[in-house]
């Protein structure tokens, strides 16, 4: 028996041999870099920094967490980040539904393919380009105010504000919501909608009581993306948020890059880790992982 | 009928919302003014050759392409292996692996960046070209993995069993049965992974030393308000060039969908 045969018959009889030999390399790489790094970050959050030499001092200290909880600034920043992430998620759910519904239930095959492509292009086209576009649009002498004054309305002062961040984040992550929601709508058997109509439900009642519950996993899968992407951003707040609109990410970023206080940054980053951890566990219960 | 009209009106408005900013930023590449202003006063093409001859832009572009290519190669290897393993697993352990595997894209980017920065710092690893590649390979792997797993799930197990019954060993089955079925999914995943790496900025800031990838160069220029006409041109080029692989990947995924049915 040649070695290739021997290996393959062994892996056929003992399934775990095959699994292990396939999974070994990616698991070592993934565990040794990504998971170990997340673990190390958690450990580092209990370390401190020598204020004179800037050296890391290993140990177990809660001082980073204490200064986070006692500083009102940090609590406000965390509230702002989570609140905007939630607002963006809700906005994108509302905007995704008409597109998903029209794409799956109303459009013909050609139009549907075109709409799909039209959703994919902004999804993958440069993130920075799209943020920068909005920076130009919303700025004082930008497109928005030019359009407003052209139709005789007063200028809007939403550039460099929380409103700007809400609009831009909703814009950036909308395709991440449209895709899973339309995939979920596609999986609803049309017979269920007909049955609902036969039972006397009007369009809106069918939507509310049949389509929304059945597409819930898709909505949760989209919410994982929109919520997580907003929660972990610091570039958009820097470019369109202006002063006084820091996110958790901005504090982390400046503590790593500028003040070089890695333990403090790690401690603050534990918060989004916990928020997303809970979110993901709930999402898995709701069956969103198959829709991801 | 009236509600359908209402839905289509909403759809048109939403697509307008999606594409007007892209159209505006594309237009700015041709603006003659050195500082972006609206309405655009005059048009010119001269920023294009200016940008092309900018040494910084060239270096950043080259680095971005190298990083994206390397990260994509790693992603193909790790992602495809992991996907082949996962479809063979029992449901309980499969649940765990598939939960862990999506973490790099399900967890906020700041976490990946922050975690890698502190990890490299603890090991005394200097930030370099290689730390950028390592960081990108984590989330690129997930993209390839997701694409391949989705394909393998739709592929009936009976095909590999039939191949074994006909006397093919595991390697031959892989070469003649599984690989041809996976190929376009790997291709689509690789294209998307490349596009993602090429565009990444959140994690890269934490894993890059003195090097500038193209997004890092753009970010720096916007923040400092320098070389804005060149930013417009670079951004124009990126949007035009990423549209091609994305539409190609879309086509690959779509064709495979028809094949599986």
Note whether B146 and B191 are same-domain residues. yes
pLDDT attached to residue B261: 40
The tally of domains found in chain B comes to 2
Q: Give, in order, the Cα–Cα distances in Å from A163 to each of A5, A92, B181.
A: 64, 15, 47
Residues in Cβ contact with A162 at an 8 Å cutoff, skipping those fewer than 6 apart: A80, A84, A241, A245
Task: Among B25, B79, B84, select the one facing A133 at the smallest CB separation.
Answer: B25
B206 at A interface, C-beta within 8 A:
yes
Cα–Cα nearest to A231, from A77, A72, A114: A77
CATH number, domain containing residue B119? 1.10.3720.10
Take residue A28 and report the two structure tokens written for it: 């070592």
Regions of chain B where pLDDT drops below 70: 1, 253-261
Specify whether B95 is located in the same domain as B202.
yes
- Whole domain around residue B36: which residue ranges? 1-44
**pLDDT of amino acid A249:** 93
Of A153, A73, A228, nearest to B107 (Cα)? Answer: A228
Q: Are residues B34 and B58 in the same domain?
A: no
Which pTM was predicted?
Answer: 0.90
B17 and B70 in a common domain: no
Tell me how close the Cα of B47 comes to any Cα of chain A, in angstroms. Answer: 17
B96 lies in the same domain as B135: yes
Q: According to the model, what pLDDT value does residue B248 have?
A: 77
> In terms of domains, do B107 and B58 share one?
yes
Q: Of B253, B243, B197, which is closest to residue B73 (Cα–Cα)?
A: B197
pLDDT of B255 reads 61
Contact B235 A22 (CB under 8 A): no
**So what's the pLDDT on residue B220?**
93
Give B107-163 pLDDT, tens digit per residue. 998 999 999 988 988 888 888 889 999 999 999 999 999 989 988 888 888 888 888
Q: Which domains does chain A have, with CATH numbers?
A: 73-291 (1.10.3720.10)
Which of B115, B142, B200 would best serve as a mutation to test chain A binding (most A beta carbons within 10 A)? B115
Low-confidence ranges of chain A (pLDDT < 70): 1, 5-14, 290-292
SS3 B157: helix
Cα–Cα distance measured from residue B181 to residue A48, given in angstroms and rounded to the nearest whole number: 52
């Amino acid at each position: 028996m040649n070695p290739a045969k021997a290996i393959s018959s062994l892996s056929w009889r003992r399934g775990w041999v095959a699994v292990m030999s396939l999974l070994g390399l990616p698991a070592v790489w993934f565990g040794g870099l990504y998971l170990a790094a997340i673990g190390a970050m958690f450990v580092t959050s209990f370390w401190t920094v020598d204020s004179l030499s800037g050296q890391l001092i290993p140990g177990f200290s809660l001082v980073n967490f204490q200064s986070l909880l006692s500083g009102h600034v940090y609590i406000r920043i965390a509230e702002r980040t989570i609140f905007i992430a939630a607002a963006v998620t809700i906005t994108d759910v509302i905007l995704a539904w008409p597109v998903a519904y029209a794409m799956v239930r109303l459009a013909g095959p050609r139009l549907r393919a075109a709409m799909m492509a039209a959703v994919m292009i902004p999804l993958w086209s440069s993130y920075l380009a799209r943020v920068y576009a909005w920076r130009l649009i919303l700025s004082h002498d930008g497109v928005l105010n030019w359009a407003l004054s052209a139709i005789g309305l007063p200028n809007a002062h939403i550039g460099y504000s929380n409103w700007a961040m809400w609009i831009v984040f909703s814009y950036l992550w909308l395709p991440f919501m449209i895709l899973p929601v339309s995939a979920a709508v596609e999986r609803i058997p049309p017979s269920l909608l007909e049955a609902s109509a036969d039972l006397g439900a009007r369009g809106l009642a069918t939507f509310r009581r049949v389509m929304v519950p059945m597409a819930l996993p898709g909505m949760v899968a989209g919410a994982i993306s929109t919520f997580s992407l907003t929660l972990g951003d610091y570039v958009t707040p820097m470019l369109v948020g202006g002063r006084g609109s820091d996110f958790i990410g901005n504090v982390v970023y400046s503590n790593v890059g500028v003040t070089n206080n890695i333990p403090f940054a790690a401690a603050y980053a534990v918060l989004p880790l916990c928020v997303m951890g809970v979110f993901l566990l709930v999402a898995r219960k709701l069956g969103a992982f198959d829709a991801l | 009928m009236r509600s359908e009209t209402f839905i289509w009106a909403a759809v048109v408005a939403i697509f307008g919302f999606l594409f007007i900013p892209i159209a505006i930023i594309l237009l700015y590449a041709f603006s003659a003014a050195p500082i972006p202003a609206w309405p655009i006063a005059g048009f010119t093409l001269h920023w294009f050759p200016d940008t092309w001859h900018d040494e910084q832009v060239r270096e950043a572009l080259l680095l971005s392409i190298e990083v994206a290519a390397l990260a994509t190669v790693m992603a193909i290897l790790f992602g495809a292996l992991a996907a082949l393993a996962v479809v063979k697993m029992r449901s309980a352990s499969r649940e765990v692996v598939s939960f862990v595997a999506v973490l790099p894209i399900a967890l906020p980017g700041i976490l990946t960046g922050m975690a890698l920065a502190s990890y490299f710092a603890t090991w005394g690893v200097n930030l370099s070209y290689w730390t950028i590649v390592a960081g990108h390979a984590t989330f690129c792997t997930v993209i390839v993995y997701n694409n391949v797993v989705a394909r393998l799930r739709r592929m009936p197990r009976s095909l590999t069993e039939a191949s074994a019954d006909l006397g093919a060993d595991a390697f031959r089955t892989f070469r003649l049965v599984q690989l041809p079925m996976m190929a376009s999914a790997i291709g689509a995943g690789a294209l998307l992974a490349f596009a993602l790496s090429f565009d990444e900025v959140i994690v890269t800031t934490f894993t890059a030393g003195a090097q500038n990838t193209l997004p890092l160069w753009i970010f720096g220029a916007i923040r400092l308000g320098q070389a804005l006409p060149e930013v417009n041109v670079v951004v124009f080029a990126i949007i035009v060039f990423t549209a091609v692989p994305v539409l190609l990947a879309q086509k690959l995924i779509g064709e495979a969908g028809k094949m599986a049915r």
